[in-house]
Amino acid sequence: MTKDLCERALEFATRAHESIDQRRKYTGEPYIVHPVAVAEIVRTVPHTPEMIAAAYLHDVVEDTPITIDQIEAEFGPKVAELVDWLTDVSRPEDGNRRTRKAIDLEHSAKAPPEAKTIKLADLIDNTKAIKPHDPGFWRVYRREKQALLRVLREGDPALWRRAQQDSAEA
């Protein structure tokens, strides 16, 4: 029996993140725990298999040697399009963090609702890690997150409210 799209995406993302021994910053857990958490959050709202696959793959192009062309060849144009919308477009040479985040914010603002829903799930899971483990960075991340929330309103309304509530709490 052939594996379904979501299973293949999970296995692909696991291998990609393991290939560089990527770990979660505050816990040291294998990085794949984050994409799995993002996919599980997306599963709680209306979604498609392509959205779940993209949730598993959302950091692969940004963090590993995998390219968007490889994602498209393996998972098709819809998953690749979603991953592309979820991948930061700024580069270190674009300037400081604030400048880079402004560039990425502009990119996210143009994303389709499905990508915005996945991005909201990403923000929710990152908040769970950053807020308790790094209060200093939380202040910076919270400001960036609030700016993103302003452009992610077309994402799932329940996730938008959840992300908003998470960042409203000091």
Question: Quick one: residue 107, left, alpha or beta (phi over 0 = left, psi -120 to 50 = alpha)?
Answer: alpha
DSSP-derived secondary structure letter, 4: P
SS3 2: coil
Q: Which of 63, 72, 104, 134 is catalytic?
A: 63
Question: Quick one: residue 45, left, alpha or beta (phi over 0 = left, psi -120 to 50 = alpha)?
Answer: beta
Kindly state the tokens that stand for 140.
Answer: 């910076």
Q: Is 62 a catalytic residue?
A: yes
Specify whether the CB–CB gap between 128 and 106 falls below 8 A. no
C-alpha dihedral sign at 48, 130, 84, 67: negative
Contacts of residue 90, defined as CB under 8 A and 6 or more positions apart, other chains included, come to: 99, 100, 101, 103, 104
Q: Which of 4, 7, 62, 94 is catalytic?
A: 62
Residues that are catalytic:
62-63
